[in-house]
Every structure is written in C-alpha cells, then in structure tokens.
A and B are shown apart, each in its own frame.
Chain A
C-alpha cells in the first residue's frame, strides 16, 4: 500500500471497511422501516418526532460499540442513509439524517467513551449526550421549537434523550447477541470479549 493511502487511512483495513459497510447495509432494512414510521408520526408533533428520531441512532451506536474506532459511527450511519435512497422516497433527507446522526455519534463517542470505555454508565451517557445534541441540532431548528412552551420543550428533550439511550442500550444488546454467533471475533469488541 502506498504511503499516501496509509497516511489517509492509518487504521482501517479492507476487512474493517467492508464490515462497517455491510453492518450499515443490514441496518438499512431497519432504517427504511423507521423512515416510514417517522413520516407517519411526523404530523403527531414534537413528542412523536423526538421519540422516533432516536431509532436512527441505532446503526451509529452499534458501530461505535463494535468497531470502537474513530469514524465508525459516521461511516455506518451515513452508509445506512445512503443505502436507503433507492428504497424510500425520502432518500436524500434520510441520507442527511444519517450523516448528521453519524456526526453526533462520533462526537458523543469521542467525548463520552473515547472509543474504549464501554461500561453501562458510559453507554447511557453516550446515548444521552447524543440525544441532547441531536435535539438541539435538528428538532430545535427545523420545527421552530423555540415557539413551544417550556414544559413541552422539556418533555420533548426528555423523550429524545430516553430514546437515544434506549437505542444505545439496544445496540449493546444486539452486539452481544451477534457476538454469540462468532462473527465479531475480528472486531475490537469481539477481541476484547474473547480476552476478557
């Protein structure tokens, strides 16, 4: 491999890139379903929207927990949004949500877990931090939530945080379920569990 390529991608092997991409593809099935649920509940207001937004965090949370590498959350989340384009008429917006959730996942992964601390409180903190950031970036801006009353806003933030934490916990449970099949042995999570 040339020096230039190694400098650009110091730690990503082809195996990791492919694994991240197919994880994203597998989650696309879920993301497409979430998109239709999101479209269906969008009109039910800020609470429903806050509740469903957390489901888009699932691929990013799974990627951070399994691959434990900077860039994993962004890659998996963005690719799952990209792969959803042919399967949903809201494709470009889903890609936008995927990219944004990936950035939020990266930020949260870096700030809370540093890609190596994954105790239960770290996972909860990881989800909660992501929920607050995403609420601030998406819901507060696009729905003009500044017009809502304080109790409504607080309840919406609470719902967003709860669903992001739930998504992070589901991702962890999913990772442990997949690990039992033996396919994660070449990932950071699989190696750590094997040596534990």
Chain B
C-alpha cells in the first residue's frame, strides 16, 4: 500500500484545502498545469494505479475544449478586444484573449480535480469519519450514525437492483440514458421508503444498546494522527510554496485573484 493511503485522512484534507483555494485564485495557465503535474507525481509515487487518475481526468479534457470554444462567445468584448483577432465566426470576432480565458478556466478545473484525487483515490470514507470523530471532535452520535448509514450502502445498492428487477419484470423501462434516469426517478421513492424503515430499526437497536448514553466512548478501531501526518502537511505546503516560487521566478505565476485577468 502506498504512503498516501497510510496517512490520516484529516491530514490530507488539512494539506489540500488551502492549496485548492490557492489554485482557484490563479489567473495564469502555468500554475494550474504545474499543480496538475505535482498531483500526478504524488499519485504515482504512492503507487496509485494511473488508469484511476486518467479515468477521472479524461472527461476534463472535453471540459477544457468546451471552455476554449465557448468563452469567446460569452466573455465581455471590452475585456479582450485589445488582444489579436484570430478569426471571425458568423461575424463574431474570436479574440486570442477570450480563448486564453477559456483555457485558464479549464486548466484550473483540471488542477482542482487532480489535487482532489490525492484524497479521493487514497482514502477510505469510514476512516475519514473515524478521524472526524476521534481527532476533529465531531460528536460521536453524529459520526457513528453516519457510519452506520455508510454500512447500508451495499444493502441500498442491492435494494436498488431489486427495485429495478421488479420494474423490468413488469415490463417498465426503456434502454438508454433517458431510460436510466426515468428508472432512477421510479426507484427513488421505494428506495427512500425502505431506507428509512431500515434506519428506524437500526436506531431502535442502537438506543436499546444505550448508544449515546455517555459523553465519551471507546473505539473499536483507532485512527491516529502521527508526527508523520504533520510532516506530510508541512512538506506538502513547502512543496507547493516551492512550485509557486519557481513559477514566480520564471515570471508565469500571475496575480492571485478572483477577478479574471484577460
């Protein structure tokens, strides 16, 4: 198992949250590219299968293409009219600045998704909940209620299949994407009804075992926050600072702002 898997999930969130905010503020295309590369290198160093990352990032290339194509038609002309005109489409001038704005927005989203993969692909949700209860002081009644509900996930999936099968047996449903959505719409009411029934039974069982009777409780499985987690957070921030300093030195960082430079 790679080193990212062994870290406390909270450490990953603490490390990533400010970096995601910084990436959202970037206004040049090079910073998002650098952060995407950084995320991919860290994933590879932690032996995360590359196809998992590509599976997430491939649709983002279409997003990038869409942004580059659409931004020239949506952006305020006075912001980009000082940049060279590349071509005319149906009488609308396509400015280089507008295409660059689309490119920047698309690359920023790719960078955000790439960095988020450091958490998504290496974290067990139950461990994240345990860390929230044990380290972040989330009231355990809330934390463990959510964990009980998370345990229902395979049951809900089975239940959903059962509902779909029942619909198929009755000849309801059609193939294709629209058919899938219609099926989801039909399934949601019985799914909610059976889930709530199951929750009530589980709640009675938990109350019967005095769940929530004490302000503190013991834990079957401990998730620990070790010095290694602290070192990861600091090292990650240092690495990000280093990348930004390098971009600054190369003159391609650009200002950090919510207002788009064109």
Contact with A along B62-79 (1 / 0, CB 8 A): 111111001100111101
Q: Is the CB of A25 within 8 A of B152?
A: yes
Contact with A along B96-117 (1 / 0, CB 8 A): 0000010001101100110011
Please name all residues of chain B whose beta carbon is closer than 8 Å to the beta carbon of A154 when the two chains form the complex: none
Contact with A along B182-221 (1 / 0, CB 8 A): 0010011111110111111011101100011111000000
Stretch at the interface among B118-126, B167-175, B228-236, B242-250: B118-126
- Secondary structure at the B interface, as helix, strand, loop or mixed, is helix
**Is A30 part of the binding interface, using a Cβ–Cβ cutoff of 8 Å?**
yes
Return the chain A residue nearest B64 by Cβ. Answer: A43
Number of interface residues of A (CB under 8 A): 58
Given A15-B199, A15-B203, A19-B199, also A147-B262 (CB < 8 A): yes
Of the candidates B59, B196, B260, the one having the most CB atoms from chain A within 10 angstroms of its own CB is B196
Please name all residues of chain A whose beta carbon is closer than 8 Å to the beta carbon of B189 when the two chains form the complex: 174, 177-178, 181
Q: Is the CB of B63 within 8 A of A43?
A: yes
**Is B166 part of the binding interface, using a Cβ–Cβ cutoff of 8 Å?**
no
Q: Is the CB of A25 within 8 A of B76?
A: no
- Return B190 CB to nearest CB of chain A, in Å: 8
Contact among A21, A40, A75, A142 for B199, CB-based, below 8 A: A21
Q: Identify which of residues 125-177 in chain A touch chain B, using a CB-to-CB cut-off of 8 Å.
A: 141-144, 146-149, 152, 174, 177
Q: Is the CB of B141 within 8 A of A5?
A: yes
Contact among B125, B145, B160, B188 for A18, CB-based, below 8 A: B145
Return the chain B residue nearest A176 by Cβ. Answer: B189
**Is B42 part of the binding interface, using a Cβ–Cβ cutoff of 8 Å?**
no
Whole-angstrom CA separation of A2 from B146 in the bound complex? 21
List 24 A-B pairs, Cβ < 8 Å.
A9-B141, A14-B212, A15-B199, A18-B200, A18-B203, A19-B196, A21-B148, A22-B152, A25-B149, A25-B153, A29-B156, A33-B184, A39-B60, A42-B66, A43-B65, A45-B71, A85-B123, A85-B125, A89-B52, A92-B120, A148-B76, A177-B189, A178-B189, A181-B189
